[in-house]
Amino acid sequence: MTSEEFRKLALSLPAASEGAHMGHPDFRVAGKIFATLAYPKRGWGTIMLTRDEQEHFVRAQPAAFLPVKGGWGEKGATNVQLRTATKGIVCEALTFAWQKRAPRRLTRK
């Protein structure tokens, strides 16, 4: 998967928008970040999951997913190496992250 494919998947979620945070493109819903691109470096993304979701994705594709180092990773922030990840599983992870941040009125649709 490419950075542009990641971007398109993130922006395909209802009310998602692109912004920037600390020099990295980010994706938000209702002003809350659910994913970023180019962190820790180009070719990577970060998805804001729960710890349980993080464990699921790391187990499912250990070559693609790994916890972010430090406290953010302990809270579920998960790096994804885009070139090794499949579109389907990244779409699933982005959807989980989006659902966690989206207002109820959007998640009920």
Residue 42 maps to which CATH number? Answer: 3.90.1150.30
Q: Is the pLDDT of residue 7 over 80?
A: yes
Q: What is the length of the chain?
A: 109
3-state secondary structure of 2: coil
Does the residue 12 lie in any domain?
Answer: yes
pTM summary value:
0.94
- Around Cβ 22, how many Cβ atoms within 10 Å? 7
Does the residue 109 lie in any domain?
Answer: no
Tokens of 103: 């207002």
Mean pLDDT along residues 58-77: 96
Over residues 39-57, the pLDDT tens digits come to 889 999 999 999 999 999 9
Q: Decide if 7 contacts 42 (C-beta within 8 A).
A: no
Q: Quote the CA–CA distance of 35 and 37 in Å, as a whole number.
A: 7
Q: Give the chain's domain count.
A: 1
